[in-house]
């Protein structure tokens, strides 16, 4: 990735955060067909690209930029949490939720503070997943966060930090295929992890070029779904991907996680007791939804 001769980007304010997110989302949305094609884990339902697109599209369609970094981070977190879809989408949303929580009430953020907040946000995504599996989006986010945190005092600006981190992202992504048997069988990388890499690539391209007019012109992305290649599937225990938004939850996350485990697997819980987004694979979605109603105050 070549950085053009331009003014150094030492801090991010709310507007730069918003437009950077938009650029990442556009890259991800434009690549959703490819992400669907390689989606084989945790189940081969071919919807990771669609889910991540729906998760990020809400920010583009419903938010306006704000000068404050903190305010914008909170608004992005709320939008992606409300609209998160699928396992990877909810993990993605939880990352931004953690990022918003771990950001001080500031109008702009320095590179060092950004790296620290990203590093601390990793804990939130691991806590959200009932059984964290390495070789997925979790691993790629963690290794990327570790890299930018370790070099936070040496990078000259955000351009250099993000561009230099691209190699780490790509290496971490390629290694996912050797960490999970189902990925190796199908000769693909993890779809959720690739979605995150594409998102960061979109941000890198925007920060390097800073062509806001071009970004705003590219709001609409046409989508035609091609036929999928044959996928070698692992055994699927539970048939239905079930999701819900819960508000004013009366139980702790661990109690909720235990309850979800009684209904199925692959549970992910994002957000706080004020507003949670849950995802679980189950054979009895109706029974689960009725049970969830009992824990809302």
What pLDDT sits at residue 145? 98
Burial class (CB in 10 A: 0-12, 13-18, 19+), 4: exposed
Which residues are registered as beta bridge partners of 110? Answer: 11
Looking at domain 11-221, its CATH architecture is: Alpha Horseshoe (1.25)
What pLDDT sits at residue 174? 96
- Measure the CA–CA gap between 285 and 177, rounded to whole angstroms: 31
Using DSSP bridges, classify how beta strands 11-13 and 108-110 pair: parallel, antiparallel or unpaired: antiparallel
What pLDDT sits at residue 228? 41
pTM of the full predicted structure?
0.83
Question: Is 236-297 a CATH 3.30.1370 domain?
Answer: yes
Look up residue 16 and give its two tokens. Answer: 């730069």
Q: Do the two domains 11-221 and 236-297 of this chain adopt the same fold? A: no
The torsion defined by the Cα of 283, 286, 287 and 289, in degrees rounded to 10, comes to: 120
Which residues are registered as beta bridge partners of 275? Answer: 247
- Measure the CA–CA gap between 157 and 215, rounded to whole angstroms: 22
How many of the other CB atoms lie within 10 Å of CB of 195? 29
What pLDDT sits at residue 231? 41
pLDDT < 50: residue spans in the chain: 1-5, 221-234
What pLDDT sits at residue 2? 38
Which residues are registered as beta bridge partners of 245? Answer: 277
User: Positive or negative CA dihedral for 237, 238, 239, 243?
Assistant: negative
Sequence ranges of the domains in the chain = 11-221, 236-297
């Amino acid at each position: 990735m070549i950085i053009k001769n331009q003014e150094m980007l030492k801090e991010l304010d709310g507007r730069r955060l918003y437009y950077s997110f938009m650029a990442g989302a556009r890259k991800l949305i434009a690549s959703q067909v490819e992400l669907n094609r390689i989606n084989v884990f945790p189940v081969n339902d071919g919807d990771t690209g669609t889910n991540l697109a729906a998760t990020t599209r809400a920010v583009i369609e419903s938010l306006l930029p704000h000068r404050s970094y903190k305010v914008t981070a909170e608004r992005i977190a709320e939008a992606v949490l409300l609209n998160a879809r699928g396992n990877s989408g909810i993990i993605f949303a939880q990352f931004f939720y953690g990022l918003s929580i771990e950001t001080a009430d500031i109008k702009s953020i320095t590179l060092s503070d950004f790296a620290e907040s990203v590093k601390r946000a990793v804990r939130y995504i691991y806590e959200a997943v009932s059984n964290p599996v390495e070789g997925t989006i979790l691993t790629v986010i963690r290794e990327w966060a570790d890299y930018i945190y370790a070099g936070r005092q040496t990078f000259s600006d955000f351009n250099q930090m993000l561009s230099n981190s691209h190699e780490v992202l790509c290496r971490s992504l390629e290694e996912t295929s050797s960490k999970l048997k189902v990925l190796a069988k199908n000769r693909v990388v993890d779809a959720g992890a690739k979605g995150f890499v594409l998102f960061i690539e979109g941000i890198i391209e925007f920060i390097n070029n800073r062509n806001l007019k071009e970004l705003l012109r590219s709001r609409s992305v046409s989508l035609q779904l091609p036929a999928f290649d044959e996928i070698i599937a692992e055994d699927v225990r539970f048939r239905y991907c079930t999701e819900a938004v819960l508000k004013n939850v009366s139980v702790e996350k661990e109690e909720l996680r235990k309850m979800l485990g009684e209904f199925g697997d692959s549970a992910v819980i994002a957000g706080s007791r004020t507003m949670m987004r849950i995802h679980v694979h189950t054979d009895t979605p109706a029974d689960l939804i009725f049970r969830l109603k009992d824990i809302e105050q």
